Structure 1
């Protein structure tokens, strides 16, 4: 074999490794997983009085510790909600505050209480843990994403279980994830997990509320499996910021990155890690992608829309930059670098992207070529309205 062929094989293998899907495809394979991200919600960790539920925490720790004992090769990353809820009682608050400043104060008080319980109880099983606080920027900015990845990998190499929470004490309204379900999905992507398990007080996704005769949805292979299903919060949302909607979004986010996900209750955690038929299993539907692409497709706050002609639609689907000449019209009011939907003439969204210009500027250059743009608006403007690096094609994975 010549050197060129060898290089080609190596490059192909590296590409497959980089974009591989999880080796876990079915729920019964979970017991042999190497790396699992487990997210537990506030409602599963706090009592009805909004204080830490010692028994609930001890139970989930027992489940995780015994799973590690059964499979010594397994690594678990725990994404834990509960910091804000844990801080309510010490601050004399009866319910989760709505204003950001008080949420941050409660999180600051509650985080230390929550970690103290985790550290003390896990130590009884010989499991070392560490606290990792993240904000949206830590997983969106390239340099900080690398730092977060490096930190998590090193902790796992040292035999430490990272316990992750959104850094509510410093996160702002503009950059907060709003819940830990989606941060868990992004962490699963960051650490190249084999599976994501989302635990709350709801045992599965149902066709409608169980009290109304709804049936458990056993598995989801794609968004089409949920067509016609009313997804709402049927659990105790009083102390948390998520609901079933965010869990489904997180599961889809993980699945789109090649990581299967299981949505079930904390009470079913032991059965879930044992690979039993509980909860709703989301099959992996795509390959691993950059966190930037995942954010654009699933998490970005879309501020407006751009309608494209047929040529531009074809180019964007091939992951080419959107040129001004292919723009038909502009909808909404957005600023430069805001996320926008890129649509065909029928209104169907084909991609999300970060537009280089404001809505007014984009409308001004619509349909124009480079020379016409510079003549009309000046030399600082060019024909690229949305660069290929800032485009995520929707639904192609």
Structure 2
């Protein structure tokens, strides 16, 4: 399985705040240099590397005299505005030791949830790689709202890996692998491989990092691994100090096997890189048609509509009985057009309203 690591030509590496900064805030230069040593070796070997790095907010804490990560948004944005420059400065100086140039790429939620922005982000990253630079990606926390709580960049890293069609995603944290429970407890067992959801049954996944400066935890890393492997990208999860060994193919950390079938890029974007603008509630017959028979959604099966959206925007299709989303699709009507169509057969509608509410080609199961 480690041949997938040593044979990877394009690699996305994600590192968390706790792996780069001190518990009190501020950048740990030795940790940054150690990580760059491992990544620069990959570039020298002719491989392409994209680094997704958290740490802007954490890096800004000490310079601003903040003892802990602030809770209010304005203080987080202020810390990010100070810390991002310090963070990229450390990376630039460290990569310069190897004669390498870095390029800063700051993304917001719109850049990964709006299709046109998604393509623009790809072009920027692709050009940086073509120019032999190392793209360093982070969320644009200085103007961010929801994405500051976006899973400590784990989900962003999975989306970037899919965006650049990476051969491997490496998730670095302060834990050396995925365990069945708290690694500090003697009854916790290390998980060497994950081939599917069954391998995670009964695994207790924590939600917070040990250092207290990040926002992620194993739950966001496992979700990121699910997204990446679903896009056909294998994942290695290990501790940041072990990055060099992991990238050399040594059997450390947890290896997540990729799914054998890679989804169409458009459907992957719809499932993982969009934010639904509304919800369509479906009766049991419509749920059966969507989930089992893979049919288009017609107005007869919709019982209610939530949200304000326009034709062409993503909406979640929800089982009205359980309230659980079963699919996501691009809707063919504005929200204001739907109430008069609900529960009606298409043959009873005006010809202008006989098309599907969501066509099966614009729909992905969740």
TM-score, scaled relative to structure 2: 0.87
Contact 1:88 1:106 survives alignment (8 Å): yes
Distance 2:258 2:358 in 1: 29
Report what 1:3 is aligned to.
none
Report what 1:168 is aligned to.
141
Report what 1:42 is aligned to.
17
Aligned to 2:189, the other structure's residue is in SS state coil
Aligned residues: 361
Report what 1:5 is aligned to.
none
Report what 2:288 is aligned to.
313
Contact 1:85 1:240 survives alignment (8 Å): yes
Alignment counterpart, residue 214 of structure 1, candidates 182, 188, 191: 188
Report what 1:368 is aligned to.
344
Contact 1:373 1:383 survives alignment (8 Å): no
Distance 1:357 1:175 in 2: 32
Alignment counterpart, residue 179 of structure 1, candidates 152, 156, 162: 152
Q: Say whether residues 1:275 and 2:275 are aligned partners.
A: no
Alignment counterpart, residue 53 of structure 1, candidates 25, 28, 52: 28
TM-score, scaled relative to structure 1: 0.81
Query: 1:1-397 alignment to 2 at 5 Å?
Result: 26-69=1-44, 72-173=45-146, 177-212=150-185, 213-233=187-207, 235-236=209-210, 238-285=212-259, 286-290=261-265, 293-297=268-272, 300=275, 306-310=281-285, 313-315=288-290, 319-327=294-302, 329-330=303-304, 333-336=306-309, 339-343=315-319, 350-353=326-329, 365-370=341-346, 372=348, 384-388=356-360, 390-394=362-366
Contact 1:316 1:322 survives alignment (8 Å): no
Measured after TM superposition, the shift of residue 236 of structure 1 is 2.0
Distance 1:138 1:298 in 2: 9
Cα 1:360/1:140, change in 2 over 3 Å: closer
Contact 1:261 1:282 survives alignment (8 Å): yes
Aligned to 1:385, the other structure's residue is in SS state coil
Distance 2:226 2:217 in 1: 15
Which residues of structure 2 form unaligned runs of 5+?
none
Measured after TM superposition, the shift of residue 244 of structure 1 is 0.8
Which residues of structure 1 form unaligned runs of 5+?
1-25
Contact 1:311 1:326 survives alignment (8 Å): yes
Distance 2:105 2:314 in 1: 29
Cα 1:166/1:297, change in 2 over 3 Å: closer
Cα 1:140/1:220, change in 2 over 3 Å: same
